[in-house]
Amino acid sequence: MIAQSEILQRIRQLPTLPATVARLSALLRDERSEVADFEAVIRPDPALSANLLRIVNSAYFGLRCKAESVRQALALLGLRRTCEVAAAAGFAPVLPARLPGYEVEAYTFWLHCVAVAVLSERLSAEVGLKRPELTFTAGLLHDVGKLAIGAFVANSAAEIRDSMRGRGLSFVAAEREALGVDHTGVGESVARAWSLPEVVADVIRWHHAPSEASAGAARDLVELVHVADALAHALGLGADAGELARQVDPSAKAKLGIASRRLESVAGASLEEIREMARLFAPPVGVSP
């Protein structure tokens, strides 16, 4: 078991997500916000401004005209997309070269984060759900807890592996049994430390157990990310020490009401976008594809 104080210390040691990500997410949810408010948050952040222009002008977005200012980028990308770009551009540099315990390189972990973000969005469209706010950001950040407890997981690696393979526990359950906490609970604390919006914290907390989410939690979004996470792992997008040792919540599946063929079609349609986005925002460390 790890003491709460040790975990909090780890969280404090993590590089923080730029404050702009949380501020932009809050603006996006505020109906009174205007483009100028977004511009006022982005412009003072030179790294984000530069990244935004680089990304908006990349072949991926295929825009006909070139954006030269933050305002133009906002106009061309739209507010929602700008916030997604900010989240991805802010999150990538926070990743270490390798996540201890989970035995995964930065790029593979990154690919998984992007895959879950993109698949969550595509799934919501496929099942005709009105896209919950911050779907992309929540999908992208669902595993942040892994950044904080990797070292503890590494210390208990043998025990976790034995419970997983010997007793058929899911990775997250084995993690909880060995450490007293798991990456979802710790992830919620990271979300608080980074001042992330409540819905993103809910997704991080409940993405392995959507049916246990508290009544006020963003249940639709939690379920979407839960299913997208399982799909990403099934497809091998970001394999780590947890491998395929996970369960899919039957009620989340049922509620989403998606047939296997359509799930496969979503997977097929998303692969290129996942690869492109992962490449575009690739973390500065780690092995590139």
Partner 1 sequence: MSTLTVDISDLKVSADPQDLIVTYALGSCIAVMVHDPIRLAGGMIHYMLPLSETSPEKARERPAMFADTGIPLLFQTMYKLGCRKQDLVVKVAGGGALYDDKGLFNIGKRNYTILRKMFWKSGVIIHAEDVGGAKSRTTRLFVGSGRCTVSSQGEEIEL
- In the complex, the residues that contact partner 1 under the rule CB under 8 A are 108, 161, 165, 168, 170, 230-231, 233-239, 243-248, 253, 258-265, 267-269, 271-272, 289
> Rounded to the nearest whole angstrom, what is the least distance from the CB of residue 125 to partner 1 in the complex?
15
Question: Residue 262, Cβ neighbours under 10 Å: how many?
Answer: 13
> Rounded to the nearest whole angstrom, what is the least distance from the CB of residue 171 to partner 1 in the complex?
10
How is residue 205 written in tokens?
């907390």
Q: Which is nearer to partner 1, 230 or 282 (CB)?
A: 230
Q: Which is nearer to partner 1, 196 or 245 (CB)?
A: 245
> Rounded to the nearest whole angstrom, what is the least distance from the CB of residue 234 to partner 1 in the complex?
5
Residue 195 phi/psi, 5-degree rounding, is 55, 40
Q: Which is nearer to partner 1, 20 or 108 (CB)?
A: 108
From residue 228, alpha-carbon distances to 112, 132, 233, 244 in Å are 10, 14, 9, 14
The sign one gets for the Cα dihedral 68, 72, 76, 79 is positive
Strands (E) in 39-182, as ranges, are 98-99, 104-105
Q: Which is nearer to partner 1, 43 or 161 (CB)?
A: 161
Burial of 159 per CB tally in 10 Å (0-12, 13-18, 19+) = middle
- The CA distance from 53 to 55, in Å, is 5
Q: Name the one residue in this structure whose structure tokens are 């006909």.
A: 64
> Rounded to the nearest whole angstrom, what is the least distance from the CB of residue 185 to partner 1 in the complex?
21
Q: Which is nearer to partner 1, 183 or 233 (CB)?
A: 233
- The CA distance from 188 to 75, in Å, is 33
Which of 101, 243, 248 shows the shortest CA–CA distance to 179? 101
Which of 97, 137, 94, 98 shows the shortest CA–CA distance to 118? 137
> Rounded to the nearest whole angstrom, what is the least distance from the CB of residue 278 to partner 1 in the complex?
12
> Rounded to the nearest whole angstrom, what is the least distance from the CB of residue 244 to partner 1 in the complex?
4
The sign one gets for the Cα dihedral 135, 139, 36, 59 is negative
Q: Which is nearer to partner 1, 78 or 236 (CB)?
A: 236
Q: Which is nearer to partner 1, 216 or 250 (CB)?
A: 250
Which of 178, 203, 180 shows the shortest CA–CA distance to 190? 203
> Rounded to the nearest whole angstrom, what is the least distance from the CB of residue 206 to partner 1 in the complex?
18
